[in-house]
Amino acid sequence: MSGDIVVSGGAGGVGARLQDLRSQAGLLDDAGDDVRAWSGSVAAVAVHQDVTVATLLCPVEVAQVAGAVAGATIGVNGLLIVSTGLEASAIVLRASATTYEFVDATQQQVMEALQHAAGFALGAALPGLVLGGGVLLVGGGLVVLGNPATWPALALAVQNVDLAALGDGAMDALYDNPWLLESLTKVAPSLVQGTTWSLGSLLGGPLGGLALPYVLSGGKWPTASYEDAVGGLVNAGGMFGMFGDTGEMGVSLAETLGPDRAPTSVEEIFQQQNMLGADQGEVQIVQVTNPDGTSSYIVQIPGTQEWGPQRGSNPVDLTTNVRLMAGDSTLMQQQVAQAMREAGIRPGDPVMLTGHSQGGITAAALASDPAFREEFAVRSVVTGGSPIARFDIPPDVSVLSLEHDQDAVPMLEGRENPDRANWVTVERDLGTAANGVLPDASVGAAHGTDVYAQTGAMVDASDDPSVQAWREGAQQFFTGEPGTVTRWDVSTR
């Protein structure tokens, strides 16, 4: 239903159930070991010294004891048979979990290989289609212009063409068909490679088809790796002075806000993200006081603020975006870490990293960094509209990912979020452009922090088991007590 949320992963997800299977297998293994040990104890009765001596005095009774021991240990329902059955069940449970994971991973690899092949083929065809279309257009135009009788009709047709309406119609079609938007984002990295190969072949033959992608990408193309595909784009941009992650950056206290600005829910996290995004190059850190007097911290990282391909004074920019998606360590990550040090976050203090769009990517990258986790006790990551499925976030860090079906950004890495016990994904269908939940529906509006705040409110009210388990685990960050809220300037000095 339009507007509703769909929850996957977490305590009620498939990943958690597979963990339960393995836990049950462990219990069955332990029980099998115990039963086998009991079998040995029972078998020892038959050769006990007192039984051996009694053989001379009452052989019939001793024979009965030996028969009972044999039945209890190796009989049809004996302890050895029971222990073997328990351990066999454990093997089946583990094999079932492993088989499911193998099939799921294989299916994902096959789908990604097909997407890569389709994208490369489409990209390879594009230059030829453009050239062919251009020839037809020019040829047709010359024919029409060469016949003065067609000029009035041509003029009327040009006047009636509404380019803005055509563009709006195309965007509405993407909005109303999220599957098409998702397909385009999944094939985009390989489409660029295919186009580059085709251009190289047109310019320099087969050798050019190999050389151009290789040179532009710094040796990364051709590749089926998402990170290498984006890394090749970074290298190509670098040849023209773009995507340089450099600058003399510093961190300084920008302002201290009122204690009532501390978020106490998922909705308020994204309301705060909305306000944070209005100020250039700032990170917000909230110190939450726990009932026992200790402190927890919510670190809020903004989404992309500068869209130029060249680094300016603000590292919350396109350069950070593409480098994060290429798997690079970025200056923005260093700035966030330094702001946390300046805010007084100590080793062992529980930390929740939150972010919208690029902010969520930065949060996931930090949570995936062993060196960062060694310094800071990351307990939770909350993202909205962020493509983070490929980040290796450890199982002891809880993740809550909010995504809208009509938002292209969380689709950009071309993979669904993993279904794990520690990772809850909340998806929301915003409906159609004409009859959906947004009054001014567009792909850009679907990415807005205000809309993610609305989705956050739905998460706060949800009775889904996975969401409830996540809320219980995050209580230390939402105490409702006044907090110390500071903003830190991370821009160029």
Does residue 423 have a pLDDT over 60?
Answer: yes
Tokens of 165: 């309406």
CA–CA gap between residue 186 and residue 209 (Å, rounded): 23
- CA gyration radius for the chain? 31
Q: pLDDT band for position 169 (50/70/90)?
A: low
For residue 72, the tally of other CB atoms under 10 A from its CB is 17
Does residue 480 have a pLDDT over 60?
Answer: yes
Q: Rounded to the nearest 10 degrees, how much is the dihedral formed by the CA atoms of 114, 118, 123, 129?
A: 170
What was the pLDDT predicted at 466? 95
Q: Which one has a higher pLDDT value, 62 or 114?
A: 114
* The most confident of 5-14, 72-81, 113-122, 264-273, by mean pLDDT: 264-273
- The average pLDDT across 477-489 equals 91
- The average pLDDT across 364-391 equals 97
Out of 169-173, 255-259, 275-279, 323-327, pick the least confident.
169-173
Cis peptide bond N-terminal to 259, omega within 30 = no
* The most confident of 116-130, 349-363, 400-414, by mean pLDDT: 349-363
What was the pLDDT predicted at 135? 53
Asked if 309 and 243 count as a contact pair (C-beta separation under 8 A), the reply is yes
- Whose tokens are 């970025």? That residue is 330
Does residue 52 have a pLDDT over 70?
Answer: no
Q: pLDDT band for position 161 (50/70/90)?
A: very low
Asked if 313 and 281 count as a contact pair (C-beta separation under 8 A), the reply is yes
Q: pLDDT band for position 151 (50/70/90)?
A: very low
Q: Rounded to the nearest 10 degrees, how much is the dihedral formed by the CA atoms of 384, 250, 310, 187?
A: -30
Q: pLDDT band for position 163 (50/70/90)?
A: very low
- Strand ranges (DSSP E) for 180-261? 252-257
Out of 147-151, 199-203, 216-220, 469-473, pick the least confident.
147-151
Tokens of 206: 């087969």
pTM score, whole prediction: 0.79
- Whose tokens are 């994904």? That residue is 425
φ, ψ (nearest 5 deg) of residue 265: -160, 170
DSSP lists the bridge partners of residue 5 as 428
Asked if 223 and 192 count as a contact pair (C-beta separation under 8 A), the reply is no
Strands 484-489 and 282-289: antiparallel
What was the pLDDT predicted at 51? 59
CA–CA gap between residue 303 and residue 272 (Å, rounded): 12
Specify the DSSP class assigned to residue 177: -
Reported as a single tens digit per residue, the pLDDT across 223-252 is 988 899 999 999 999 999 999 998 888 899
Asked if 282 and 489 count as a contact pair (C-beta separation under 8 A), the reply is yes
Out of 27-36, 242-251, 385-394, 430-439, pick the least confident.
27-36
What was the pLDDT predicted at 154? 44
Average pLDDT over the chain, rounded to whole?
A: 82
